[in-house]
Structure 1
Amino acid sequence: MGNRTIRDYAAGIVGAILLALVALLPSQALAWGEYGHRTTAEIALANVKPETRAAIARLLRHEREIGTPDCDLKSLPDAAVWPDCVRREGWRWGYTAAWHYQTAPVCEPYNVRTNCSGGNCVSAQIERNLRIVADESLPGNVRLEALAFLVHFVGDIHMPLHSGDKDDRGGNDNVTAYGIVPGRNLHSIWDSALAERAISSADPPLVRRYSPAERAAIATGGPEDWGRESWQTARDFVYPNAFDVAPCDGDLPDEAALTQEDIVAAIPVSQGRVQQAGLRMARLLDEAFAPGPLAVEERRR
């Protein structure tokens, strides 16, 4: 068997495995699904200061006061998925739906104020909820609810298609067929199948204690920077990877053939965004729970 034949055979096996993995995953309409969001929280929890971890545990004691018995809020990973869970009760939490994203056209200059009327967007809600968490004068249940929104939205803003859009609601429209994952839209692929594959295949594991140098290099910027990064990733990688054309050269095709090579190329991009979300979340939590009124005043500026 020649080298090319062996490579083709191996590629076929990998493609079949990826297809099987994707077929087993449920369709997700929410960023990163439960696994991705829990992973970002686990990364954060492994990298916060001990004092921050203790402060989080104290806030979690207020779970019953939140009044969402069908949506657990017993741990930071629970908190990371809680905002998606409560959205099922639209009569009570429907007003939060626009807080999870901030899609901006990838073929226009990025502006953090785009699609953020009245602060109803993910970047503004990260800032708002960070301020609430940091304010020790507020009741514990109010701060716990804000903590859940904060950790969830830090995850959301790092998912490229929650910031970048090409007239398709961030990959939710007009992408109806894929080579190895037929019937799934682009947003769904990045939410669930790709994120889960990226997390489970990471070596070393994404959930670990990072060195001070790693944290300093990765845990940078703020919500505006993170949204811009996601928007740029959507423009420069996600859309070209899926359609084999630059999104700003014209209309996208109605369908795309997302090959196994495309999936493999996307895995490190997805891994990087999950890693960044977790370590940046850790930094924000350390800031929010820093002792003394000075920390609160810093967040109010």
Structure 2
Amino acid sequence: MTPIPPRFPSSRPLRRRPSPWLAALLACSVALPAQAWGPLGHRLVARLAEDALTPQARAGIDRLLQAEPDPGLAGIASWADDLRATDPGLGKRSARWHYVNIGDPGCAFDADRDCPGGDCVVAAIETQARILADRSLSDAERRQALKFVVHFVGDVHQPLHAGHAHDRGGNDYQVNWRGKGGNLHSLWDSGMLNAQGLDEDAWLARLRALPAPAAVSPLPARAPQRWAEQSCRVVVAPGFYPGGHVIDQGYVDAHLPVAEAQLRLAGARLAATLNAAFAAPR
């Protein structure tokens, strides 16, 4: 994964300057890492999904990924972010597929307004899931679609991937946490998770111990839209944007459980998406 997240296009051509005190506070700080859930988060979503795959889906995935260096869902979970380095052309074409900016203050998704030309994570999940389910297509096409689906279902559950256009999903909202400067997007991507000092297996055990999400099979109509709207509602909830731009332990205590719940949901919904794709009629 490259260290810079997909840029969120701004609806405002002019960015606000930070206040002088905030600029001074951030001037001597080290930037937080900025990644989409980070490799850890994407691997956790993938491993949680593997817990709930049907035998048919597991067999189909194993066949498509058998030649991969790390032939499992976790091994390809960050592939779509890596494209910026490994395949810049495809990385550029798919850059807008990682997120959606929902323009309605109540978080109601409108495809014409929020996803023109199908260039958003909602449409990308739907399109790539259809490709994955289409047995008439080549293995190469379906393998690529599988990699996109695994990543994008994770992305849509990171709340700021359904955030505001004006601050590029929190990328332009500067924060200071533990004496280090960065932005709200990077804090949610990986900052809060990495700060817990847990390795991948310990995180997986922690997430598995959470209450299991409600069954999501069969998938409801317009499922990716509903997931994006739910993420958006996290962003617009009171207290999500910290007052004063300084992150304290109270913010982390309040919001880390939200991030954990989103990861748990993403794993369950990814499994449902893959089970549905591989259950399609041959």
Aligned position for 1:228: 229
Aligned position for 1:249: none
Residue aligned with 1:178, SS: strand
Alpha-carbon distance between aligned partners in 2 of 1:62 and 1:169, rounded to the nearest angstrom: 37
Note the C-alpha offset of 1:189. 0.3
Note the C-alpha offset of 1:241. 3.5
Aligned position for 1:284: 273
Aligned position for 2:152: 153
Identical amino acids, percent of aligned pairs:
34
Alpha-carbon distance between aligned partners in 1 of 2:56 and 2:277, rounded to the nearest angstrom: 11
Aligned position for 1:27: 33
Give the TM-score normalised by the residue count of structure 2: 0.78
Alpha-carbon distance between aligned partners in 2 of 1:270 and 1:219, rounded to the nearest angstrom: 25
Residue aligned with 1:54, SS: helix
1:178 equivalenced with 2:176 (yes/no)? yes
RMSD of Structure 2 on Structure 1 (CA): 2.9
User: Aligned in 2, Cα 1:31/1:218: closer, same or farther, shift over 3 Å?
Assistant: farther
Aligned position for 2:142: 143
40, 44, 52: which one pairs with 1:39? 44
Aligned position for 1:84: 81
Alpha-carbon distance between aligned partners in 2 of 1:183 and 1:101, rounded to the nearest angstrom: 24
Q: Give the number of the structure whose alpha-carbon radius of gyration is greater.
A: 1
User: Aligned in 2, Cα 1:272/1:107: closer, same or farther, shift over 3 Å?
Assistant: same
Alpha-carbon distance between aligned partners in 1 of 2:76 and 2:209, rounded to the nearest angstrom: 19
Alpha-carbon distance between aligned partners in 2 of 1:259 and 1:208, rounded to the nearest angstrom: 26
Alpha-carbon distance between aligned partners in 1 of 2:30 and 2:209, rounded to the nearest angstrom: 27
Alpha-carbon distance between aligned partners in 2 of 1:109 and 1:136, rounded to the nearest angstrom: 35
Alpha-carbon distance between aligned partners in 2 of 1:148 and 1:38, rounded to the nearest angstrom: 12
Note the C-alpha offset of 1:106. 6.2
User: Aligned in 2, Cα 1:199/1:105: closer, same or farther, shift over 3 Å?
Assistant: farther
Aligned position for 1:299: none
Structure 2 residue identity aligned to 1:116: C
Gaps of 5+ in 1: 1-22, 64-71, 245-254, 294-301
Note the C-alpha offset of 1:194. 1.7
User: Aligned in 2, Cα 1:24/1:55: closer, same or farther, shift over 3 Å?
Assistant: farther
> Residue deviations 1:46-104, cap 9 Å, x none?
111122111100011355xxxxxxxx563211221100011223234311101100022
Alpha-carbon distance between aligned partners in 2 of 1:48 and 1:25, rounded to the nearest angstrom: 38
Q: How many residues align?
A: 247
Q: Is the 8 A contact 1:160 1:234 kept in 2?
A: yes
Gaps of 5+ in 2: 1-28
Q: Is the 8 A contact 2:32 2:187 kept in 1?
A: no
Q: Is the 8 A contact 2:30 2:182 kept in 1?
A: no
User: Aligned in 2, Cα 1:209/1:270: closer, same or farther, shift over 3 Å?
Assistant: closer
Structure 1 residue identity aligned to 2:161: H
Note the C-alpha offset of 1:110. 2.3
> Residue deviations 1:125-167, cap 9 Å, x none?
1000100111111101100000000110000101110102162
Segment drifting more, 283-292 vs 121-130: 283-292
Aligned position for 1:60: 65
Note the C-alpha offset of 1:207. 4.3
User: Aligned in 2, Cα 1:179/1:137: closer, same or farther, shift over 3 Å?
Assistant: closer
Alpha-carbon distance between aligned partners in 2 of 1:243 and 1:210, rounded to the nearest angstrom: 28
| Structure holding more helix per residue | 1
